Amino acid sequence: MASPPSPASSTTSANSQRSLHPNRPQTLEDLVTHFVASKRSLQTQTILWRANDIVTSARELLEENAVLAAKNTSIRNMVEEQVDALEAVRRGIDVVEGDVQAEFKQLLHDLDTSFAGLKSTLAVLRETPIESALQPSGTPQKHLYDFIDNTTVSALEDSLRACIDRYNDVHSTLEESTDAFDTSLENLQSSIINVPKTPVTNSIPSPIPSLYHDLEGHAREAAQAFQSLVKHYDLCVTALRHTEGGAAAVTQATGDASLPSADDHGPPPEPISEEERQEMLSVLERDAQEVEDVVTEIREHGSEMSYLLSQIDNHITHLRNEDSALGSVLKMIANIAREVKGHIATSRAFHTSWLDDTRPTLLNGIEEWENQRDFYERFDLAYAELLVEIASRRRRHDKAKRKAEEAQKELDRLHAEDERAREQFTLAQGDFLPLDIWPGLRDPPRRYEVRAVAVPHEQDMEEGEEANDADLVAKSIPQLGRNVVERALVRVKRRM
């Protein structure tokens, strides 16, 4: 017994014959061929099962998409706010440091200016010699600088240098803190930049709802197409049942295929007229021509659904990766936030040190330099005025001396005149007057002298040491050169 032809070859043969004879009546072989092809097409049910699984998975992913999208958006907003807050703190530290640095530089400039002025004044004192006429003979040459106490200047200079060193140490600590803060912020920004962004299409936040909608459409259309295959299969069964020898022909054609029993499809079909049967066969023939197309359509729907699910899954993978990366960013922010307390404390310590130590010390130093400069300038001016005063005293002394000499000459003249008058009186009347008539009759005239009175330090001269008027004058009022006095007058006038 020859083996039955394969369903595929039978279908191909039958279709070829129908294409050659489109109006040829349907034979039992044709019906069997349609039945086998129809039953084979029902194997696409596995595609529907897969489609159901795809829809279920996609629905779960759709829910996860909503959760992740909302979560990621919320976290991104939170990250943005936290970054703004951290950067605001960093800017605040910069403002404090910048203000202090600006004032520190200005105070250093003022301090240097004051110190430069003081050094200039001290240089003048170093270059201003004490006139030799003012010093004991044999004394080494001295200058105005030799009469000041420079330990005050040195002590203040050391104090200011130590203050600046303390400031630099505190500022160095602040810079280390801000450098660490900047590094943390840079790492944070780098991590934020590297957070994977879930792609969007045409400004749509998430393509999954649209993909899910398309996926449901494919599932619905696949189900409808499969339902048409089921109806076609039922029509094939009905046609074979209304055809004599149909069950045997199916068994012979397929080897193991058989028509569904009445238990599976209810009571036996009611008899139909030949006209109704021909109409049924006509519909069956028309539908049979579309079976392969419908199967292909179902497979295409299934393939498209698998592709759409992969698109959804890819998008969810992006969201999950974004969620994971954002979680890492939040941990970084939490770590930086803990570190920020230390950065703020360092900034506060820097500012407190500035207000309590550096600033008042520098201001006091500037004031002290100015005071010392003013004092030493007054010292230099006082020395110049001293030279002028010595010259003035000398002039007054010379004038008084001249007056004294003139007075002494007048007194000497009066004394000599008195002596002559007394001698003439004695010659004329002396013989006639007894000596006891006035005890002072023969006394010489009183002599008056104009002389310099020694000042206290001159009175301390050793007994027996004779000092003439010139010696006393040399000790009390030195004779200064004219050019010395003129230079002193110029310096006095210049500073008035």
The model's pLDDT over 118-167, given as tens digits with 9 standing for 90+, comes to: 999 999 999 989 888 888 888 889 999 998 888 989 999 999 999 999 99
CA proximity to 383, closest of 127, 209, 70: 127
98-110: average pLDDT: 96
Q: Judge whether 24 and 274 are in contact, CB under 8 Å.
A: no
pLDDT, residue 464, reads: 46
Each residue's pLDDT tens digit, 267-276: 556 677 778 7
CA proximity to 408, closest of 447, 470, 450: 450
Q: What is the mean pLDDT of the chain?
A: 84
CA proximity to 93, closest of 186, 173, 165: 173
83-107: average pLDDT: 96
Please say if the pLDDT value at position 361 is more than 50. Answer: yes
CA proximity to 211, closest of 311, 301, 318, 300: 311
* CA separation for the pair 449, 411 (Å, rounded): 8
Token pair for residue 213?
A: 């909608």
170-181: average pLDDT: 96
Give pairs for 322-326: CB < 8 Å, separation 24+. 322/68, 322/72, 322/195, 322/196, 322/197, 322/198, 323/68, 323/71, 323/72, 323/75, 325/191, 325/194, 325/195, 325/196, 326/72, 326/75, 326/76, 326/79, 326/195
* CA separation for the pair 279, 272 (Å, rounded): 11
> What does R_g of the chain's alpha carbons equal in angstroms?
65
* CA separation for the pair 470, 478 (Å, rounded): 11
Q: Judge whether 378 and 144 are in contact, CB under 8 Å.
A: no
Angle at 343 between CA 337 and CA 347, to 5 degrees: 145
Please say if the pLDDT value at position 14 is more than 80. Answer: no
Please say if the pLDDT value at position 496 is more than 70. Answer: no
* CA separation for the pair 50, 293 (Å, rounded): 20
Alpha-carbon dihedral angle through residues 399, 404, 409, 410, given to the nearest 10 degrees: 100
The burial of 343, by beta-carbon neighbours within 10 Å (0-12 exposed, 13-18 middle, 19 or more buried), is given as buried
The phi-psi region of residue 245 (left if phi > 0; otherwise alpha if psi is between -120 and 50; otherwise beta) is left
Token pair for residue 315?
A: 């998008």
The phi-psi region of residue 448 (left if phi > 0; otherwise alpha if psi is between -120 and 50; otherwise beta) is beta
Using DSSP's 3-state secondary structure scheme, residue 320 falls into: helix
pLDDT, residue 103, reads: 96
- Which one has a higher pLDDT value, 15 or 279? 279
* CA separation for the pair 464, 240 (Å, rounded): 175
pLDDT, residue 213, reads: 92
172-184: average pLDDT: 96
Q: What percent of the chain has pLDDT over 90?
A: 51
pLDDT, residue 279, reads: 81
Distances in Å between the Cα of 211 and the Cα atoms of 152, 196, 417, 436 are: 88, 21, 150, 164
Question: What is the number of other CB atoms lying within 10 angstroms of the CB of residue 387?
Answer: 22
- Which one has a higher pLDDT value, 91 or 451? 91
Please say if the pLDDT value at position 50 is more than 60. Answer: yes
Token pair for residue 69?
A: 């999208």
Which residues, 6+ apart, have CB-to-CB distance to 334 below 8 Å?
none
* CA separation for the pair 405, 402 (Å, rounded): 5
- pLDDT band, residue 408 (cuts 50/70/90): very high
Q: What percent of the chain has pLDDT over 70?
A: 84
pTM: 0.67
441-464: average pLDDT: 73
Largest interatomic CA distance in the chain:
221
pLDDT, residue 310, reads: 92
pLDDT, residue 176, reads: 96
